Amino acid sequence: DTEVTQTPKHLVMGMTNKKSLKCEQHMGHRAMYWYKQKAKKPPELMFVYSYEKLSINESVPSRFSPECPNSSLLNLHLHALQPEDSALYLCASSRNSGQGVSYTFGSGTRLTVV
């Protein structure tokens, strides 16, 4: 298995809703990432997990809450989002979190906040 699987592919949520994005990989990668990509912009790093521990939080608002229950799973819990949070959310994994490793990306979850 050489894929990163993200679910759901599309999500529409209201500003008072609570929802979760899910990411799964079975490549034995020990680093996992959440990126946010707005239209015509580059992907921007949100969080890095290394060996199931949060190692980087790029000053992301607390309405985004990551969770790494085990080495294969990464969740992003969403609560009280704003319309400007609408974006493509990409999960990625890599062998480790050191430099010089390439990421494997999932297809993303396209989130619309209404």
Partner 1 sequence: DQQVKQNSPSLSVQEGRISILNCDYTNSMFDYFLWYKKYPAEGPTFLISISSIKDKNEDGRFTVFLNKSAKHLSLHIVPSQPGDSAVYFCAASAQGTYKYIFGTGTRLKVLA
Question: Could you tell me if 29 and 95 are in contact, meaning their C-beta atoms sit under 8 angstroms apart?
Answer: yes
Exposure string of 40-70, with b = 16+ CB inside 10 Å and e = fewer, is eeebeebbbbbebeeeeeeebeeebebebee
Reading the block at residue 51, the tokens are 């060996």
Q: Which lies closer to partner 1 via its Cβ, residue 41 or residue 77? A: 41
Least separation in angstroms between residue 71's CB and partner 1 is 17
Q: Which lies closer to partner 1 via its Cβ, residue 17 or residue 104? A: 104
Q: Which lies closer to partner 1 via its Cβ, residue 2 or residue 16? A: 2
Which residues are at the interface with partner 1 (CB under 8 A)?
4, 6, 31, 40-45, 48, 50, 55-56, 58, 90, 92, 97-100, 102-108
Reading the block at residue 89, the tokens are 């959310």
